[in-house]
Structure 1
Amino acid sequence: MRERIIDRFNQGDLARAYDLCQDGLRDRPDDFWLKHRAVLCLIRSGALERASAAYHEYRLAEIRHDEDCLAVGARLLKALALESSGQAFARFARESARNYADVHARTGGHYPAINAASMYMLAGDPGPAEIYARKVLYGSFDTATASREQAYYRQASQAEAYLLLGDLPTARSTLREAFRLDPDNHLAHATTLRQLRLLVAVLGLDSDWLAPLEPPRPAHYAGHIFGLGAGEGQLDKGQEGRLRDTVELMLARHHVGPVHGALAAGSDIVIAEAALARGCELNVVLPAPVPAFLDASVRPFGEAWVHRFEACLEQAEKVVELTSDRRIVSVQTLNFASLVAMGMARMRASVLATEPLQILVSEADDAETPAGFGTLHDRDVWSVCGLDQVRVPYPGQRSSIRTKPAADENPEPGFRPAMRAMLFLDVAGSTSVPDDRVPHFVQAVLKPLAACCDALADPPVHADSWGDGMFLAFDRVEDAARAADTLRQAFADIDMDEHALPPSLGLRIAGHFGPVHEGEDPLQKRPSLFGGQVAVAARIEAVTVPGSIFVSEAFAAALAMSSYAFRSEYVGQIRIDAVMPDQRLYALRALPANAAANLRRSRSARSTQPV
């Protein structure tokens, strides 16, 4: 069973891994490994309240002979601290530091020592912080069999210790040496940079010295469609060559790494080709399946673009088809794809502890571009977020024939397309409620959740229920996120013991964002939502860990472009249905505006330069 749990955990299937842990604990209730792994599943999925309750219920703090069990309590407290502010932050940070210090006393490891030092400093206790920082520098650690990653973390821990002791020059040189030991481990580098930025903020130090060590910057790209040849709306070979040269210069100047965007004829493909030639990771985000996009946005501009499209697609790290629509029917759908691509770039930058960049190929004056469409839409959405933007001048003359899609068409009378942020909610474990307690369950659990919905400042535009489940739809993704967190808190406030209900009951909330069809339900004779995106939202709920909010990548990406009040942490690529593609899911958590996890630099130290 352990192998199955580890496999599911490593694949990001936390709901299944957690369920397997619970199955195992029914047969082996004293197995501390299963208890430890169950708590890790909850922490990773963002269910911190449930993780804390399980940690104490399982009495993991009493298992003194296993370092993993010893450290998980400190890790949980650190997670709680980073999602808190004010006195709560200091209290959790101090408790985390004490836990890490206890682990170090028992294991002698440098990992618990440096975490104890940093958490003490963040809690405002510099004395203990300096003590544990010196333990990191002068302790005896076995490095004979260290891997490159282990050697990196050992050196990075020393750099952090020097920083805590006020020796900034040595901290800088030691950190550079750590990055040299494992140069391509960008995720590990990001973890270190994030921790150091917290510390320099507390210590009142300048953080600019960390900028040269940032991983390559994720970017979103977009630009005008054009054909090849002579005349209006086309570029000749010389013009395309100059455009490519400028794009290549910009990619190098701004240290661009992963790129995210569509793959239409013209600018998109030119940027994608230049990025691939430079060794950048290409992530393609399309509003419709590949054949539909190819026929609408590539083939009409010449067969040469088709071959280049296919070559880029072959080398792409990821190709996302956001809908199963066989047509690109609306501006709304195209803007949806652009929004998701922008959000993916921004989320990737957050993971890598750097700032994203947008690359646009456009004229200086886009006055002729329809408002809210295409490159102009992407420019405005990005600039509202205050993010770095680079414009590459379009070297030709735009066609007088606009590339805007035709007006939305209603394929069936009585239906209209709409963008909706959707939530599915379900009370896991409700089948364990004795039949005689079901009416009380409805009154004590479902009724408060319904009242919570009624009291929302931004209520859903559509609501439905069945049994112990609820379906809510919103105009805006941030409204859905706030509603999800409010409902999660409302459920957590219900005392199951007081109502003689099973304590194992847990609320699962799933979120998705995408285009739907609005029309009348033939049976209920009232408006309802239809389409594949509704089904995706429903299937995500089934794989959500109780106590958590799991959302799709589209939901998380759209939210990343509109709100700092939430954090979406990657869970994994999960099979949600036997006939549907696997979904990349994220655990959603609301954060106070001044939470430590919200610490961001307002601008990249690599300032944007005009090209």
Structure 2
Amino acid sequence: MSDESASDVLARVRAAERRGDFLGAFDLARRGLETFPGDLKLGHRAVLALARSGATAGARAMLASLGATTDDELVALDARLWKDEALAATGELRAQLARDAAARYAALHARNGASYPAINAATLHLIAGDRVHATELAERALALTLAEKPTGDSLDAYWRAATAAEAALVLGRLEVAREHLVAARRANPDDHAALASTRKQLALVCAVRGCDPELIEALRPPAVAHFTGHMIGDRFAASSEPRIAAAIVAALVRHDVGYGFGSLASGADILFAEALLARDAELHVVLPFDAEQFARTSVALAGESWVTRFHACLARASSVTYGTLDASTDDTDALYAYGGQLAMGLALLRAGFLATHAVQIAVWDGKPARGVAGTGADIATWRRRKLVTDVIEIHDGSDLPFITSPPRVSPMHVKAILFGDIKGFSKLRERDVPKFVDYVLGACGRVLDECEVDIRNTWGDGLYLVLPTAGAAAHCASKLQAAIRSLDPAKIGPIGLRLAGHVGPVFDCFDPVIKQRSFFGSHVTRTARIEPVTPEGEVFVTEPFAAALALGDDNFACDYVGDVPAAKGFGNLRMCVLKQRGREA
């Protein structure tokens, strides 16, 4: 970044935003601010990226760090954060916060006379139940927008049309809104973040006005797909490639797919990847372990031409994520299963950011998976979430006996891991240690008795927990923080808890030292390195944890924190703060 200007960095940030990669946009903007401190445009994009990802608290803290300013864009961003807080609330609190946010937008409109703050104030008044002020401001915004002269900039044309459409919706003029929505979509073919932002807001207006939400479908960004399917072999003959390739192209067109997440094995995966790249969609590759070993185990058996195609797709992928870098174990089934779950979760996260459809497209013969991983396993996981799978049928192995065997007992399992540290322990007087054990650890123990915990361990002020799922870990972490917050500091002194969470494949072993079952592996170490950088009172989780939650539990949100350096030189990890929807975790 040292050779780049602030404008160059800003351009890369905007490119990431347009793709809906708000986490990447924030990281780029934050690193840009390290090189160009005080740059308000980079500061604005950093705050906006966090806000768009749903991390309202982090966005507010970032905005405060930029200092007091009268810059219109930052003032509007402050109002936007008030709006986000209003929309996250319910009942009378939502109405009150909506009125507060509307007042901020109205004050900005009074100062600069622009249509953008006027229409936001109008929509917020509508949400608050004040149709008089909503109508007045919507009429003003519509008039201002229609009077503005075109600048020749397509994004400017988009925002003018989107503002006019929103004003017409607030006023109940549905046909006028429809015309402007068509114009908005025509002006904006590729800024998917802008489409998502507008569509989310218009959905609120439709809900309040009782309009058919189909009206705003014109603004839906392209769909996000998780792709999966059989490798070249007994269930996918090489001779079937042309038919399956054509069916994949048709499926991507049918679902208007703009983003694809999946692996890169021979056969279906590579055909999906090539089709995505051919239609200028983003390819996000998720491999269970390093590329060379994956090519040997999942590509090379189909022939050298598939290896060449594998490397070509890998080189053009928008991102490559590895479940683990060390696959020296012979038991790779758990690693493949983890990679599939990670790809599905990341697809759901991106679809959520873009407010668009998530679909799974699978090349499948209808038979269950032969182990914990495979096409059948991916489909079963996706369908348990009650999500749509579009199956491209293949029956190349229909005349072969489907051999089922008892599942092999594996020492490796995908688990959720929590590490915790109780702040205040080191300042205790020696005589208070028994009281700490009884009062503080006792409170933690009672919480764990009510949670799904595979193993638990402690060493003074430390906690090490392994749980079956990310959802179980999230609920447990939330309850632990609540228990610690409820303690009376008069009895033991100020006490706080920091927790770190991760999901990954670990070895289930008998520990000969403590004579108990325990879990080991690099993913345990990774979690331990996150805990020291977690603020007191918070639960920091990794992106794989957030992806696992997206796949399995709607009760929690993961607000992005950033690309955070882990302890002891373990490298940077994308980190989120865990929040229970409706209240803090």
TM-score range normalised by the length of the shorter chain: 0.7 to 0.9
> Quick one: which amino acid aligns to residue 392 of structure 1?
I
The yes-or-no answer on 1:178 pairing with 2:184 is yes
Alignment of 1:300-379 (within 5 A): 300-323=301-324, 324-327=326-329, 329-363=331-365, 365-366=366-367, 369-370=369-370, 373-379=373-379
Report the 3-state secondary structure (helix = DSSP H, G, I; strand = E; otherwise coil) of the residue aligned with 1:258.
strand
Q: Are 2:287 and 2:321, in contact at CA under 8 Å, matched by a contact in 1?
A: yes
Where does residue 283 of structure 1 map in the other structure? 284
- By how many angstroms is 1:44 displaced? 8.4
2: CA distance between counterparts of 1:181 and 1:233?
45
- Give 2:118's match in structure 1, choosing from 113, 119, 126: 113
The yes-or-no answer on 1:487 pairing with 2:480 is yes
2: CA distance between counterparts of 1:559 and 1:360?
22
- The structure where helix makes up a greater share of residues is 2
2: CA distance between counterparts of 1:51 and 1:277?
36
1: CA distance between counterparts of 2:115 and 2:580?
32
Give the TM-score normalised by structure 2: 0.80
Where does residue 99 of structure 1 map in the other structure? 104
- Give 2:158's match in structure 1, choosing from 149, 152, 155: 152
C-alpha change, 1:42 and 1:569, in structure 2 (3 Å) is closer
> Quick one: which amino acid aligns to residue 183 of structure 2?
E
Deviations 1:178-200 (A, max 9, x none): 33333211011101111111221
Q: Are 1:289 and 1:326, in contact at CA under 8 Å, matched by a contact in 2?
A: no
1: CA distance between counterparts of 2:406 and 2:431?
53
The yes-or-no answer on 1:89 pairing with 2:94 is yes
> Quick one: which amino acid aligns to residue 219 of structure 2?
L
Q: Are 1:47 and 1:547, in contact at CA under 8 Å, matched by a contact in 2?
A: no
- By how many angstroms is 1:495 displaced? 7.9
> Quick one: which amino acid aligns to residue 300 of structure 1?
L
User: Mean Cα displacement is larger for which, 506-515 or 528-537?
Assistant: 506-515
2: CA distance between counterparts of 1:265 and 1:54?
44
2: CA distance between counterparts of 1:405 and 1:581?
41
1: CA distance between counterparts of 2:232 and 2:434?
59
The yes-or-no answer on 1:451 pairing with 2:443 is yes
Where does residue 549 of structure 1 map in the other structure? 539
- By how many angstroms is 1:269 displaced? 1.4
- Give 2:167's match in structure 1, choosing from 161, 164, 178: 161
- By how many angstroms is 1:113 displaced? 2.3
Deviations 1:512-543 (A, max 9, x none): 10111233445544443321111222233344
Report the 3-state secondary structure (helix = DSSP H, G, I; strand = E; otherwise coil) of the residue aligned with 1:561.
helix
- By how many angstroms is 1:446 displaced? 10
> Quick one: which amino acid aligns to residue 132 of structure 2?
G
- By how many angstroms is 1:485 displaced? 2.7
Where does residue 20 of structure 2 map in the other structure? none
- By how many angstroms is 1:480 displaced? 0.9
2: CA distance between counterparts of 1:442 and 1:201?
56
Q: Are 2:558 and 2:577, in contact at CA under 8 Å, matched by a contact in 1?
A: yes
- Give 2:418's match in structure 1, choosing from 398, 404, 423: 423
Q: Are 2:228 and 2:269, in contact at CA under 8 Å, matched by a contact in 1?
A: yes
- By how many angstroms is 1:483 displaced? 2.0
> Quick one: which amino acid aligns to residue 381 of structure 1?
T
Deviations 1:451-497 (A, max 9, x none): 15523532432233456543322112111112223334445556879
Q: Are 1:46 and 1:588, in contact at CA under 8 Å, matched by a contact in 2?
A: no
Where does residue 389 of structure 1 map in the other structure? 389
> Quick one: which amino acid aligns to residue 132 of structure 1?
L
Aligned-residue CA RMSD (Å):
4.5
2: CA distance between counterparts of 1:497 and 1:101?
47
- By how many angstroms is 1:153 displaced? 2.9
- By how many angstroms is 1:510 displaced? 2.5
Where does residue 605 of structure 1 map in the other structure? none
C-alpha change, 1:378 and 1:459, in structure 2 (3 Å) is closer
C-alpha change, 1:169 and 1:483, in structure 2 (3 Å) is same
Deviations 1:393-445 (A, max 9, x none): 215235848799996577xxxxx3232111233467x59x9x47898899799
Report the 3-state secondary structure (helix = DSSP H, G, I; strand = E; otherwise coil) of the residue aligned with 1:225.
coil
Q: Are 1:292 and 1:326, in contact at CA under 8 Å, matched by a contact in 2?
A: no
Q: Are 1:328 and 1:334, in contact at CA under 8 Å, matched by a contact in 2?
A: no
2: CA distance between counterparts of 1:309 and 1:406?
33
Report the 3-state secondary structure (helix = DSSP H, G, I; strand = E; otherwise coil) of the residue aligned with 2:552.
coil
Alignment of 1:400-411 (within 5 A): 400=400
> Quick one: which amino acid aligns to residue 257 of structure 1?
G
Report the 3-state secondary structure (helix = DSSP H, G, I; strand = E; otherwise coil) of the residue aligned with 1:387.
coil
The yes-or-no answer on 1:221 pairing with 2:216 is no
C-alpha change, 1:375 and 1:69, in structure 2 (3 Å) is closer
User: Mean Cα displacement is larger for which, 512-521 or 467-476?
Assistant: 467-476
C-alpha change, 1:37 and 1:259, in structure 2 (3 Å) is closer
Alignment of 1:22-171 (within 5 A): 65=70, 67=72, 70-71=75-76, 74-139=79-144, 148-171=154-177
- By how many angstroms is 1:558 displaced? 1.4
The yes-or-no answer on 1:187 pairing with 2:193 is yes
Report the 3-state secondary structure (helix = DSSP H, G, I; strand = E; otherwise coil) of the residue aligned with 1:215.
coil
Q: Are 2:334 and 2:372, in contact at CA under 8 Å, matched by a contact in 1?
A: no
2: CA distance between counterparts of 1:579 and 1:377?
36
Deviations 1:118-151 (A, max 9, x none): 2221222222222222232234898787965455
C-alpha change, 1:570 and 1:152, in structure 2 (3 Å) is farther
Alignment of 1:570-589 (within 5 A): 570-576=560-566, 580=570, 582-589=572-579
Give the TM-score normalised by structure 1: 0.77
2: CA distance between counterparts of 1:102 and 1:441?
56
User: Mean Cα displacement is larger for which, 574-583 or 123-132?
Assistant: 574-583
Q: Are 2:220 and 2:356, in contact at CA under 8 Å, matched by a contact in 1?
A: yes
Report the 3-state secondary structure (helix = DSSP H, G, I; strand = E; otherwise coil) of the residue aligned with 1:176.
helix
C-alpha change, 1:147 and 1:570, in structure 2 (3 Å) is farther
- Give 1:568's match in structure 2, choosing from 558, 564, 580: 558
- By how many angstroms is 1:259 displaced? 0.8
Q: Are 2:333 and 2:371, in contact at CA under 8 Å, matched by a contact in 1?
A: no
1: CA distance between counterparts of 2:236 and 2:48?
56
Where does residue 537 of structure 1 map in the other structure? 527
Report the 3-state secondary structure (helix = DSSP H, G, I; strand = E; otherwise coil) of the residue aligned with 2:553.
coil
Extract unaligned runs of 5+ from structure 1.
Answer: 25-31, 411-415, 594-611
- By how many angstroms is 1:206 displaced? 0.3
Q: Are 2:447 and 2:479, in contact at CA under 8 Å, matched by a contact in 1?
A: no
Provide the identity percentage. 36
- By how many angstroms is 1:160 displaced? 1.2
C-alpha change, 1:371 and 1:88, in structure 2 (3 Å) is farther
The yes-or-no answer on 1:478 pairing with 2:471 is yes
1: CA distance between counterparts of 2:353 and 2:403?
35
Report the 3-state secondary structure (helix = DSSP H, G, I; strand = E; otherwise coil) of the residue aligned with 1:306.
helix
> Quick one: which amino acid aligns to residue 418 of structure 1?
H
Extract unaligned runs of 5+ from structure 2.
Answer: 1-5, 14-22
C-alpha change, 1:225 and 1:454, in structure 2 (3 Å) is same
Deviations 1:32-56 (A, max 9, x none): 99x9999999978978679989999
> Quick one: which amino acid aligns to residue 479 of structure 1?
A
